Amino acid sequence: MSLPVPTMPRTLGRGLVVSPIGLGCMGLSHGYGPPLPTSEAIDLVHHAVARGITFFDTAEMYGPFTNEEVVGEALAPHRDRVVIATKFGFNLDPDSGDNHGGLNSRPEHIRVAVEGMLRRLRTDRIDLLYQHRVDPAVPIEDVAGAVNDLILAGKVLHFGLSEASAATIRRAHAVCPVTALQSEYSLWWREPESATFSTLEELGIGFVPFSPLGRGFLAGAIDAATVFTPGDFRHSIPRLSTENRRANQALIDLLARLAAERGATPAQVAIAWILAQRPWVVPIPGTTKRHRVDENIAATAIALESDDLRAIAEAVSAVEIQGARYTEQLDKLVDR
């Protein structure tokens, strides 16, 4: 049986056309334990391209730098067929990648950071450049102005923000049109619906959910017995503590039942639910496994009707999710 291919593209902002789901590449080399061998990471990205994914998400912070290098090498043969998104905003040494701590979105730093990104990504332009986190020390108008200059120079095509508030989005958009907002969004984290969706819809800005599968939990890939490998940042996420995984298993049991009724997997129902929310929403689930790429892509073929969405919403609302999504330190980086 042939596997479905995501043939219905979606448009972010004013004209950035991408596959209905993308590939979040962070986990290939950062955040989830030991990095994949480069050859395996490249093979996974090539598999995603072959399966119809055209939207790939990375950041200079992932590694730092190594993730962009892997993504750049993998996508170089396919450059004109794909959209590459990356992010600036942390105080990284532009040569060594040493993390000097904190945020840095000064215009002069952005310009230097982009030169490094272009080199590592083996390209002459960045399709979508996000500010990774809003820097309270730099007016967002200055950030937007710096990115607009890079757009005029042809080095960047589209501007994005990550974990930004509605007020910040409006201020940035007034200087340089914002193409996409990237924030966490899933069946167990729905704050963007009330915090930013109306602003995005009004201004014509796309939305790119990261962690659409709850860092693997909504896929049923981990449970209370899972032991995270050294270097896996999920060790520190309160929502994914052993106690809270046990308490939140009720949501997975519910998703499994809903999925079985639809001949799907929990991950596919979770992604299909996101896709059904708005036509300008493009989730970027990450994985290190080819079969998970295929599973996620198959979610684009699941059509959830209004009755399905209502049933899922009612069922999920009855489950009380335990634990914060971020540590206190990481939560301070979220713009509100």
- Distance, CA of 235 to chain centre: 20
Return the HEC string of the chain. CCCCCCCCCEEECCCEEECCCCEECHHHCCCECCCCCHHHHHHHHHHHHHCCCCEEECCCCCCCCHHHHHHHHHHHHHHHHCEEEEEECEEECCCCCCEEEEECCCHHHHHHHHHHHHHHHCCCCECEEEECCCCCCCCHHHHHHHHHHHHHCCCECCEEEECCCHHHHHHHHCCCCEEEEEEECECCECHHHHHCHHHHHHHCCEEEEECCCHHHHHHCCCCCCCCCCCCEHHHHCHHHCHHHHHHHHHHHHHHHHHHHHCCCCHHHHHHHHHHCCCCCECCCCECCCHHHHHHHHHHHHCCCCHHHHHHHHHHHHCCCCCCCCCCHHHHCCCCC
Torsion of CA 196, 333, 226, 62, to 10 degrees: 100
Residues 14 and 275: beta-carbon distance below 8 Å: no
Query: Annotated catalytic, 62?
Result: yes
Distance CA 32, CA 196 (A): 28
Given 62, 130, 185, 326, which residue is catalytic? 62
**Tokens read off for 331:** 């939560």
d(CA 70, CA 164): 27
Residues with active-site annotation: 62
